[in-house]
Chains A and B, each alone.
Chain A
Amino acid sequence: MIPKRIGGIKFEVLSPQEIRRMSAAKIITPETYDDDGYPIESGLMDPKLGVIDPGLRCKTCGGKAGECPGHFGHIELAAPVIHVGYAKLIAKLLNATCKECGRILLKNEKRDEYIEKIENKKRLNQDYEDIIKEVFRVTKSVKVCPHCGAEQIEIKFEKPTSYYEGEHKLTPKDVRERLEKIPDEDLPAFGMDPKAVRPEWMVLTVLPVPPVTVRPSIILETGQRSEDDLTHKLVDIIRINQRFLDNKEGGAPQLILEDLWELLQYHVTTYLDNEVSGIPPARHRSGRPLKTLAQRLKGKEGRFRGSLSGKRVNFSARTVISPDPNISINEVGVPKIVAEELTVPFHVTEKNIEEARELVLRTEHPKANYIIRQDGRRIKVLDTNREELAEKLEPGMIIERQLMDGDIVLFNRQPSLHRMSIMAHYVRVLPYKTFRLNPAVCPPYNADFDGDEMNLHVPQSLEAQAEAKILMSVQEHILSPRFGGPIIGGIHDHISGLYLLTRGEKLFTRKEVMSIIKPLNVSELPKPKYVKDGVEYWTGKQIFSMILPKITIEFKAEICQGCDECKKENCEFDAYVIIKDGELVKGTIDEKAVGAFKGIVIDEIIRKYGKDRAKKFIDDMTQLAIRAIMYTGFSFGISDEDIPEEAVKQIHEVIAEAEKKVEKLIEAYKKGNLEPMPGRSLEETLEMKIMQVLGKARDQAGKIASRFLGMDNSAVIMAVSGARGSMLNLTQMAACIGQQSVRGERIKRGYSYTNRTLPHFKPGDLGAKARGFVKSSYKEGLSPVEYFFHAMGGREGLVDTAVRTSQSGYLQRRLINALQDLKVEYDGTVKEQTSGMLVQFRYGEDGVDPTKSFRGKAVDIKRIIKEVLSEES
């Protein structure tokens, strides 16, 4: 079959004739169903408009419910009404044309000039909006018609659907008459094609009634019928329409007719769009605003974004995630109840029919849920028909087999901001009700276990499964295309664990070594480093070396103090890591070596031995780290921030001194002795100096605290190894929280008429305490005033993150929409897929795939030199 292609889509405005032509029934009564529950003829549920009740047949096409697509009907409006969607355009047209003769307010030559320009732009496929705007602008200012000489009065448009000519209000009928007078020849100047749009069609005289299938009524549990919002609105329109007609025939006074006309306009307006500004939205009896035509299309849950661009899928599951360091990074733990629901098709052939039969006969977990026969019929496998179905099984049938260990699935966490947000994992069916994942894959998903939920999809075809395995599996994504380094690696306890294991010369007996390496597949122990009194001892560094492949690297660890001159292998902090032929000789393993985003060791392994070896290393590393941390034990509590009296005293002294300094600065400022810094006012200088002094005081307090905490403090271990938290966090907990700020300044807002932040202070007080300096630590607790200032700063932080996420989310959406059909071709150029337009002559100007680069650089010259040199020796 040759696929049909859509060449183009053209939008036109429906003419009254067109509406009547396509109508299957004229609707006159607002009733829907009679007492027996059958649709009423000429009512809103007229059977000519299609059927939704099973058993009935459509009176137009004879189809049953489900077969008949539905047919339009129409309502003859008693008086014309403005279509809200075109109200603004109508206003522009009225102002651009003569009120008497209907001609455009331009001389013929000038008009043709504009038409020519528009045609030109159209031919070049360019935007012609600007020219049309100009036409409307120019014509609006014309006072006298160049064709008939009639004077023009400006028409004021009042939202949503009223037009005033001076004081006089134009009825829709007047408007329509004026629009009718505009000749076809003038329309192209407004960007309209007279064959597609006549301006008077924007004033409705006939209203199309959408088919019943578009607005089906639902039957509630109580047996009552509940109509769709659109039907409700149409009922209103017909009622008012009828009343208008009756009143007109009965010769009612003009005033009443006008009121009814207005009401009809309101109903038609809200029928089309119930969120028009300037009029109250039509409401349901319960007070809920009605969801009318525009609301069905608009917004996130609308037809376009909700139903067409975004759809829901089968073969997927969603639940809470929790960690399991005992499974590999490319596995996912799937709850048994989920695995029993999700299926993978199993194509029965002559070769595997016995296997298939076994699946059908099974009564427990990996069993068959459905059988699809050659004719496409799906049969559920039940206890009653199991044996019969197994008997009848033949090649060509498809069995829907339950998900089991080793199947490939796609695992995803929203927001899916980069390609690592969806990766392929191998299934591990586990008990309980959560998805389990190795904590090392948290960084690419940006997941944690505070209640996060994730989605799982089961690829059905063999092609999809192969593609998932080859392109999407976790090990393919260890290196991030963002910065060319590993994005998967140790987090939190992995880093603390390895730090504890490898720091210095920790000794372990054979029994201890065995318990630590139990989960690893190590068959041979290296030679013990020491033998004392006949007892063999291994170091932590040796244990870590057991999981390393043969690599040779040197680097500075995260705990590096940044000395002026690096002593390299003689580093007194054991911060210079040397790995030689897969043996950790010197240095401590921390975030820099195995952490996600940094992970130099992982980086080296993946470059030298490939993805699968790196995957194995990460698996082993997480297991080893957890055993190691469990061996020593690792905890953190409020008493870990205890510092001796002496330290507290020193901290208080430092802060008191800083406060004194601030007082002095303020005094100098008041006396006018303060020297302003270049480009700053006196006040700004003072603020900056005070901030500087207080910042320094906090840092000093932190230093004092950390001196007393020591390197074996668990909080310090976590901070220096990069596992969690920072020294600043520690300072704030143990020593001093420091200056609170709003908009990057000290807190100054408050009672501005007395120029103070709180009534606790004297007016104009610029001191540290009065402007939000918190000298307490979190452990000591804050004073009420400090607490208040802290809350101010804290609130700003919360608002900032909320605003940032929404803004960057929208930016991302726009970016993805703009970039979605760009592709890097085989010749390295970047082209737009639909038009073939060239966007980049060489991808990223250098044609380098960042995942295959070394931390963003195309070539790692250092490494090449090192390798060549080592080969020679």
Chain B
Amino acid sequence: MMTKFRLQDHILVPEHILLSEEEAEEVLKTLGIKKEMLPKIRADDPVAKEIGAKPGQIVKIIRKSPTAGKSIAYRLVI
């Protein structure tokens, strides 16, 4: 069997961070929106599975961006 490796180690996979309840609350407050208005990520998405995201939680994604250097996005797990 092939050795299991971390998906996030791949250069094309951006960093995914699972937010705690308080952090999630904070993010929604600063954005001034409801959870459902965020973009979605599926709970069975390979990266979501890797970080153990459960539906209802929020994932923070840090991408490299050609225009801004680093860009931060949030996704609701469904």
**A residues apposed to B, CB below 8 Å:** 827, 829, 831, 835-839, 841-842, 844-848, 858
Contacts and interface: CB of A to CB of B under 8 A. Distances in A.
B68 A846 contact: yes
Contacts of B34: 836
Interface string B44-78: 00000000000000000001010110011110000
B38 interface: yes
A847 B33 CA distance: 19
A844 B67 contact: yes
Given A827-B32, A829-B31, A836-B33, A845 B38 contact: no
A846 B32 CA distance: 20
Given A836-B33, A839-B39, A846-B67, 17 more contacts: A827-B31, A827-B32, A829-B31, A831-B37, A838-B37, A838-B38, A838-B39, A841-B71, A841-B73, A841-B74, A842-B68, A842-B71, A845-B65, A845-B71, A846-B65, A846-B68, A846-B71
Nearest to A837: B37
A485 B30 CA distance: 34
A841 B4 CA distance: 33
Contacts of A837: 37, 39
A839 B37 CA distance: 9
Contacts, number: 37
A683 B68 CA distance: 48
A821 to B, nearest CB: 14
* Residue with the greatest number of chain B CB neighbours at <10 A, chosen from A827, A829, A839, A841: A841
A848 B67 contact: yes
Contacts of A829: 31
* Residue with the greatest number of chain B CB neighbours at <10 A, chosen from A846, A848, A858: A846
7 contacts: A827-B31, A829-B31, A831-B37, A836-B34, A837-B37, A839-B39, A841-B71
Contacts of B73: 841
Interface string B7-38: 00000000000000000000000011110011
Contacts of A847: 68
A841 B37 CA distance: 12
B34 to A, nearest CB: 8
A634 to B, nearest CB: 43
Contacts of A848: 67
B27 to A, nearest CB: 10
A836 B38 CA distance: 9
Contact of B37 (A827, A835, A842, A858): A835
Nearest to B68: A846
Nearest to B69: A846
Nearest to B40: A837
B21 to A, nearest CB: 20
A633 to B, nearest CB: 48
A858 B67 CA distance: 8
A829 B37 CA distance: 12
Nearest to B67: A846
Contacts of B67: 844-846, 848, 858
A204 B35 CA distance: 48
Contacts of B31: 827, 829, 838, 841
A55 B77 CA distance: 67
* Residue with the greatest number of chain A CB neighbours at <10 A, chosen from B31, B33, B67, B71: B67
Contacts of B71: 841-842, 845-846
* Residue with the greatest number of chain B CB neighbours at <10 A, chosen from A827, A835, A837: A837
A858 B69 CA distance: 12
Contacts of B38: 838
B42 to A, nearest CB: 12
A227 B73 CA distance: 62
A835 B71 CA distance: 24
A845 B37 contact: no
Contacts of B74: 841
A831 B32 CA distance: 12
Contacts of A838: 31, 33, 37-39
Nearest to B73: A841
Contacts of B68: 842, 844-847
Q: Which are the 6 A-B pairs with shortest beta-carbon distances?
A: A846-B68, A845-B71, A845-B68, A845-B65, A846-B67, A836-B37
Given A827-B32, A835-B37, A836-B37, A841 B65 contact: no
A842 B68 CA distance: 10
A352 B28 CA distance: 55
Nearest to B32: A827
A548 B55 CA distance: 63
Contacts of A842: 68, 71
Nearest to A857: B67
A864 B9 CA distance: 39
A831 B38 CA distance: 10
A763 B31 CA distance: 73
A157 B1 CA distance: 51
A845 B74 CA distance: 13
* Residue with the greatest number of chain A CB neighbours at <10 A, chosen from B32, B63, B71, B72: B71
Contacts of B65: 845-846
Nearest to A850: B67
A841 B61 CA distance: 11
Nearest to A825: B32
B9 to A, nearest CB: 23
A366 to B, nearest CB: 51
Contacts of A858: 67
Nearest to B30: A827
Contacts of B39: 837-839
A829 B33 CA distance: 11
A846 B66 CA distance: 9
A858 B31 CA distance: 23
A126 to B, nearest CB: 11
Contacts of A841: 31, 71-74
* Residue with the greatest number of chain B CB neighbours at <10 A, chosen from A831, A842, A858: A842
A831 B34 CA distance: 13
Contacts of A835: 37
A846 B72 CA distance: 10
B63 to A, nearest CB: 8
Nearest to B27: A841
A324 B29 CA distance: 56
B39 to A, nearest CB: 7
B56 to A, nearest CB: 14
Nearest to B76: A838
Nearest to B63: A845
A835 B33 CA distance: 11
A847 B72 CA distance: 12
A836 B72 CA distance: 19
Nearest to A832: B37
A846 B63 CA distance: 12
A838 B34 CA distance: 10
A858 B68 CA distance: 9
A844 B68 CA distance: 8
